[in-house]
Each structure stands twice: as structure tokens, then as C-alpha cells.
Amino acid sequence: MSDKTNDRDVVICEHVVKDYPLYSTFGEKIKGLLLKESRVSTFRALDDISITMRKGECVGLVGLNGSGKSTLASIITGITTPSSGSVEVKGEVSMLCASSGMRSQLSGIDNIRFKCLLMGYTDKQIKEIEQDIINFADIGIHINQPVKTYSSGMRSRLGFAIAVHINPEILIIDEALSVGDSSFTDKCLKKVDEFREAGKTIVFVSHAVTQMTTFCDRVIWINQGKLIGTGTPDEIIKPYCGFAREFNGMTNEQRKSVMPVLEDYQQKYCE
């Protein structure tokens, strides 16, 4: 590891590259799986990303669709491995996605138990936190109804409630808060503060940039798999929003070749 590494760093990514193979025929797929080196064309989802995240920090991850945010989140979680580069993570990571891993036939309460079970909790441990989760989600009598009857807001409240109670060292929240109403967001904000005080690291992956301004200590902007910059929400959010607006007005040709430079957008949109 490099000299810059210190004890407070809990996630250290160095020159992380992730290539996804694009198999066009079945034969190619077989070759790609069995042979170590194969000449299949690839899609580069992450290109030379080097970032660190510190203990007790709340980090936002922004970028347009397809910029590689979720891929980076999966790599940090350890679900998938980088094609090259190194990732070092200290502590348990838990990733939360709005309604992933929910079984729509099961009731809310069964889903709490099911998800805790997936996380490796024992029955006794689940009993201990179950009531807290139910109280936090605050969806009343619906907790005994099957999740298929839930509104998307209720689903994500339940999902968030479960995620913050399983107590990981690093919590990754992927697009989960974008559906909650403002009172629930306040509640989450309080929980995030609690987490921060307990020295845990939180990573927000979201398009909801206004929330990031209130939640996050630091924001990381990636675009087309490349790191554009990191900084405080004030330094990043406005330039990012400006870029996103410009991007909307671009033709498809322009979109392919555009690669923002942070300083230019900061000059343009800050102040």
C-alpha cells in the first residue's frame, strides 16, 4: 500500500479497473470463461479509480446513469472483483438497495427476518432488533401484510430500516432514499448522524443531489467510469448539476465524447 494510507482509511481503492466482457456468440462465452486470456471485446465500467474513504465519514457518490456508481459500490461490497487494481476494505460492508432481496409474497415482518437471516443473523439476534426495525420503519399495520401490497415508499422505508439496524462498519445505500418523504428523510438524517458518531462509514449512491448536500461530508463524482473529482458537497454538487443540465441538451454524438473537467465546471457554476 502507498504511504498515504493511514489508520483512519477504511476503504482504499487504488487504480481500480473493471471490464465487462461483451460476448456476442455462445462460443465466445465459453472461451471467455474457460481460458484466462481471451480476445473478447470489453466494456470498461470503471477506469483507473483511486479513492479512499475514512472512518466516520459520509461519502456521496454521484454520476449520470451508467457512470459506474453501482459497479464501484459492488466492488467495495466485495460482490464482484476488479479486473485490475486493488481494493482494501476494513470491516463489514452492507449494501442496501431499495427493495432488493425482498420477497413480495412474504409479509413485512417475515422480510425483516429473511433479510437479517441473509446477513447471517441468528434467531436470537433477530428477535433483539426486530422491534426496533418495525418502530423505525413506522408502517403501522402494514407490517403484517405481504410486501407486494406495499407502496414504493413503504418498501424503501422498510429496506432502510433493516439496513441501518444490522450495524455494519460500512454502509452503502444505493438509491434507497429517493422515495421517502421529508419526515422520514429527517429520521434517516438523525440515524446517519448516530452512525457517524459511532465511527461508521456511509456511502450514498444517488441521483438525489439535494439530499447529498445535507447528508454528506464529501462527494465523489464519476463519469463514464472515470473519476472527475472529490470534494465537499459545495465544491462538487453545483458543478455536477450544471454538467447534468448541459448533458441533457447535447446530441448523442456530443454525449459520447464529452468528459468534464472539474475546474472548468467549478468556475462556471460556483458562486
Partner 1 sequence: MQGVFMGIFHSVGTVVSEIWQNKVRLFRLARYELKSQHGGTFFGFLWNFLNPALQILVYWFVFAVGLRRGNDMNGVPYIVWLVIGIICWYYMNQAMLGADMSIINFSDVLKRMRFPIAIVPVKTVAANFITHICSMVIVFVVVLASGTPVSLSIWLLPYYIFASTVFITGYALISSTINVLFRDFHNFSNTAFRFLFFISPVMWEPSDDSRILTIIMKLNPFAYILNGYRDTILYGWHLADNIDTGLIFWAITIVMFVAGCVLHMRLRHKFIDML
Residues making contact with partner 1 (CB under 8 A): 20-21, 26, 29-30, 33, 74, 77-81, 93-95, 97, 100-101, 103, 105-106, 110, 113-114, 117-120, 122-123, 146, 174
Asked if 196 and 202 count as a contact pair (C-beta separation under 8 A), the reply is yes
- Distances 254 to 86, 104, 145, 244, 246 between C-alpha atoms, Å: 33, 42, 49, 13, 11
Q: Which is nearer to partner 1, 100 or 151 (CB)?
A: 100
Nearest distance, CB of residue 139 and partner 1, angstroms: 18
Name the grid cell of 28.
465466445
Name the grid cell of 234.
459545495
Alpha carbon distance 225, 65 (integer Å): 11
Q: Which is nearer to partner 1, 76 or 212 (CB)?
A: 76
Q: Which is nearer to partner 1, 30 or 198 (CB)?
A: 30
Q: Which is nearer to partner 1, 94 or 213 (CB)?
A: 94
Residue 227 DSSP code: E
β-strands 58-62, 201-205 pairing? parallel
Q: Which is nearer to partner 1, 41 or 100 (CB)?
A: 100
Candidates 228, 195, 202; CA nearest to 217 is 202
Q: Which is nearer to partner 1, 120 or 249 (CB)?
A: 120
Cα-to-chain-centroid distance, residue 81: 16
Q: Which is nearer to partner 1, 50 or 74 (CB)?
A: 74
Nearest distance, CB of residue 89 and partner 1, angstroms: 10
Nearest distance, CB of residue 80 and partner 1, angstroms: 5
Name the grid cell of 179.
422515495
Is residue 247 classed exposed, middle or buried when 0-12, 13-18 and 19+ CB atoms within 10 A define those classes? middle
Nearest distance, CB of residue 75 and partner 1, angstroms: 11
Nearest distance, CB of residue 49 and partner 1, angstroms: 17
Q: E-strand spans in 31-132?
A: 42-54, 58-62, 84-89, 93-97
Alpha carbon distance 255, 246 (integer Å): 10
- Distances 141 to 109, 134, 217 between C-alpha atoms, Å: 11, 10, 36
Nearest distance, CB of residue 182 and partner 1, angstroms: 27
Nearest distance, CB of residue 96 and partner 1, angstroms: 8
Q: Which is nearer to partner 1, 50 or 94 (CB)?
A: 94
Grid-cell match 446517519, residue found: 192
Grid-cell match 432488493, residue found: 100
